[in-house]
């Protein structure tokens, strides 16, 4: 038996894995709440890059956790199959909680990775399942830590290469693999995995983004998540009689693209930060949303719904909270990086608001309406 296995390695890997999971969980909760805000939830419009950072961390820590989890499983592997498999009720409970923990963690990491690659070899709805399973995983993790606390504390306070007598530890006995080697190897594997996805969101790491499906390719220097053809809006977006309707409840007005372009134009440097972990900053130019609303009537004090030319689907409409409606850098963009929006970036006009997930930056706008309370 290679004795580099055991609590010394398991507890140290577990500690780092635990931190990664915690960061991943918290950033994941944030992302979920921004997209499905509970009454009490508050998310600021500034700093504009905050969601870019939290969601980047979500995907990076999730990917970094994969090698760590594998080494963690390896470090305790013989124990997982120790006889009796079930045993006494207490033992059955302990083993059951480990089965739930391992199962839910593997589920979270695999579905998350596949989602980032936009690969869905399953039929359930990703976001709700991934969200619900996060509570299962973290709950099982807390139980696991509580149950193992004496072992963890003991192992962490012992020097790494000290071993209990019954698992006498020498390099040769361990097949040349010392505990330090295992830990350093796990760290390198995890670091490399993190780097391979970090490039899709950290600009100067872009060339390392070998695992990143959308790392900077796309018209006008911005990746595209869903094209106009995929959304079925090519005809309506290019129609010469296109009009954007702005309805503030008490008044309503329509604007052609030329009329929008004739209004005062403002530029803002804002990122598109996709929930899948890629992000890219760009210079957006267009009409400040609150100014556009004011051309129709008094600035309403409610949330505002963005309706796309896209007829159906999850991205056809989104609701922009009031805090973002009144922000001076929330634009109905007509241009990006100095040229009219590419059809795939939302031509004739799209929403771009600060510190919001990409999925809520509605493209191909056809209607803006105040949500009636
Ligand atoms: N109408 C509509 N808007 C949309 C989408 C979409 O599919 N349909 N995709 C969203 C997603 S998931 C992202 S990340 C951003 C990407 O914007 P981009 O393609 O211009 O980079 O647009 C968002 N706006
Ligand atoms: Mo996205």
Q: Does 227 share its domain with 186?
A: no
Confirm whether 216 is domain-assigned: no
pLDDT of residue 211: 56
Q: Does 124 share its domain with 151?
A: yes
Q: Does 294 share its domain with 268?
A: yes
Pairwise CA distance, residues 15 & 20, whole Å:
9
pLDDT of residue 200: 75
Centroid of chain to Cα 311 = 26
Nearest CA to ligand 1 atom 19: 224
Confirm whether 329 is domain-assigned: yes
Confirm whether 284 is domain-assigned: yes
Query: 270 CB contacts (<8 Å, ≥6 apart)?
Result: 48, 281, 282, 284, 329, 331, 352, 353, 354
Question: Which one of the ligands is nearest to 280 CA?
Answer: 1
What is the rounded (10 degree) CA torsion for 273, 278, 283, 284?
-50
Q: Does 248 share its domain with 167?
A: no
Pocket test for ligand 1, best of 331, 346, 361 (most atoms within 8 A of CB): 361
pLDDT of residue 272: 95
Q: Could you tell me the distance, in angstroms and rounded to a whole number, from the CA of residue 163 to the centre of ligand 2?
A: 49
User: Can you give the CATH number for the domain in which 82 is found?
Assistant: 1.20.950
In angstroms, the Cα distances linking 276 to 60, 63, 114, 244, 357 are 10, 12, 10, 29, 10
Q: Does 59 share its domain with 139?
A: yes
Ligand 1 atom nearest residue 310's Cα: 1
Strand partners, 351: 332
Quickly count: other Cβ atoms within 10 Å of residue 106's Cβ: 15
Pairwise CA distance, residues 63 & 191, whole Å:
9
Confirm whether 213 is domain-assigned: no
For the whole model, what pTM was predicted?
0.91
Q: Is the CB of 349 under 6 A from ligand 1?
A: no
Q: Is the CB of 310 under 6 A from ligand 1?
A: yes
Confirm whether 214 is domain-assigned: no
Give me 155's structure tokens. Answer: 């192992």
Pairwise CA distance, residues 272 & 281, whole Å:
6
Nearest CA to ligand 1 atom 2: 363
Q: Is the CB of 55 under 6 A from ligand 1?
A: no
Confirm whether 1 is domain-assigned: no
Query: 81 CB contacts (<8 Å, ≥6 apart)?
Result: none
The domain boundary residue, chosen from 160, 181, 208: 208
- Domain of residue 281, residue span: 221-370
Of the candidates 202, 263, 269, the one whose C-alpha atom is nearest the C-alpha of residue 53 is 202
Domain count, the chain: 2
Quickly count: other Cβ atoms within 10 Å of residue 120's Cβ: 12
Q: Is the CB of 271 under 6 A from ligand 1?
A: no
Q: Is the CB of 130 under 6 A from ligand 1?
A: no
Quickly count: other Cβ atoms within 10 Å of residue 247's Cβ: 20
| Tens of each residue's pLDDT in the chain, 373 residues | 447 888 999 999 999 999 999 999 999 999 999 999 999 999 999 999 999 999 999 999 999 999 999 999 999 988 888 888 888 888 888 888 899 999 999 999 999 998 887 777 778 888 899 999 999 999 999 999 999 999 999 999 988 887 653 454 554 454 568 899 999 999 999 999 998 888 777 766 666 665 555 545 788 889 898 899 999 999 999 999 999 999 999 999 999 999 999 999 999 999 999 998 889 999 999 999 999 999 999 988 899 999 999 988 888 999 999 999 999 999 999 999 999 999 999 999 999 999 999 999 999 999 999 997 7
Pairwise CA distance, residues 206 & 254, whole Å:
41
Asked whether the CA dihedral 217, 222, 224, 229 is positive or negative, the reply is negative
Q: Does 155 share its domain with 258?
A: no
Q: Is the CB of 65 under 6 A from ligand 1?
A: no
Pairwise CA distance, residues 224 & 82, whole Å:
50
Nearest CA to ligand 1 atom 12: 359
Q: Could you tell me the distance, in angstroms and rounded to a whole number, from the CA of residue 195 to the centre of ligand 1?
A: 25
Confirm whether 215 is domain-assigned: no
Q: Does 336 share its domain with 358?
A: yes
Query: 274 CB contacts (<8 Å, ≥6 apart)?
Result: 55, 214, 223, 225, 357, 358, 359
326 within 8 A of 44, measured Cβ to Cβ: no
User: Can you give the CATH number for the domain in which 225 is found?
Assistant: 3.90.420.10
Ligand 1 atom nearest residue 336's Cα: 20
Q: Is the CB of 72 under 6 A from ligand 1?
A: no
Q: Is the CB of 358 under 6 A from ligand 1?
A: yes
Q: Is the CB of 315 under 6 A from ligand 1?
A: yes
pLDDT of residue 198: 83
Pocket test for ligand 1, best of 56, 59, 226 (most atoms within 8 A of CB): 226
**Residue 203, class by beta-carbon neighbours within 10 Å (0-12 exposed, 13-18 middle, 19+ buried)?**
exposed
The domain boundary residue, chosen from 208, 235, 266: 208
Q: Could you tell me the distance, in angstroms and rounded to a whole number, from the CA of residue 314 to the centre of ligand 1?
A: 11
Q: Does 85 share its domain with 159?
A: yes
Q: Could you tell me the distance, in angstroms and rounded to a whole number, from the CA of residue 13 to the centre of ligand 2?
A: 32
Q: Does 111 share its domain with 254?
A: no
């Amino acid at each position: 038996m290679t004795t580099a296995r055991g609590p010394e390695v398991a507890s140290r890997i577990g500690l780092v894995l635990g931190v990664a999971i915690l960061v991943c969980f918290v950033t994941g909760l944030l992302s979920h709440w921004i997209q499905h805000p509970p009454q009490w939830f508050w998310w600021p419009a500034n700093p504009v890059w905050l969601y870019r950072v939290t969601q980047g961390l979500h995907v990076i820590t999730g990917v970094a956790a994969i090698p760590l989890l594998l080494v963690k499983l390896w470090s305790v592997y013989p124990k997982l199959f120790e006889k009796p498999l079930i045993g006494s009720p207490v033992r059955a409970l302990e083993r059951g909680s480990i089965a739930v923990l391992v199962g839910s963690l593997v589920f979270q990491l695999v579905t998350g990775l596949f989602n980032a690659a936009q690969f869905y070899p399953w039929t359930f709805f990703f976001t709700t399942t991934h969200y619900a399973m996060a509570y299962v995983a973290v709950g099982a993790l807390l139980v696991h830590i509580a149950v193992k606390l004496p072992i963890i504390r003991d192992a962490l306070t012992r020097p790494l290469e000290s071993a209990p007598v019954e698992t006498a530890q020498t390099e040769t006995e361990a097949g040349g693999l010392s505990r330090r080697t295992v830990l350093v190897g796990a760290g390198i594997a995890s670091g490399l995995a993190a780097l391979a996805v970090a490039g899709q969101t950290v600009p100067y790491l872009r060339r390392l983004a070998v695992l990143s499906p959308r790392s900077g390719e796309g018209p006008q220097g911005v990746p595209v998540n869903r094209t106009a053809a995929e959304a079925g809006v090519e005809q309506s977006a290019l129609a010469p009689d296109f009009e954007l309707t702005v309805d503030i409840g008490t008044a309503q007005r329509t604007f052609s693209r030329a009329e929008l372009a004739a209004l005062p134009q403002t530029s803002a440097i804002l990122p598109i930060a996709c929930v899948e972990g890629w992000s890219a900053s760009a210079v957006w130019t267009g009409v400040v949303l609150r100014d556009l609303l004011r051309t129709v009537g008094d600035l309403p004090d409610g949330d505002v719904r963005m309706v796309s030319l896209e007829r159906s689907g999850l991205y056809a409409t989104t609701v922009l909270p009031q805090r973002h409606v009144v922000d001076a850098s929330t634009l109905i963009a007509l241009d990006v990086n100095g040229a009219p929006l590419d059809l795939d970036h939302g031509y004739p006009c799209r929403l771009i608001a600060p510190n919001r997930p990409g999925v809520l930056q509605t493209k191909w706008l056809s209607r803006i309406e105040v949500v009636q309370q």
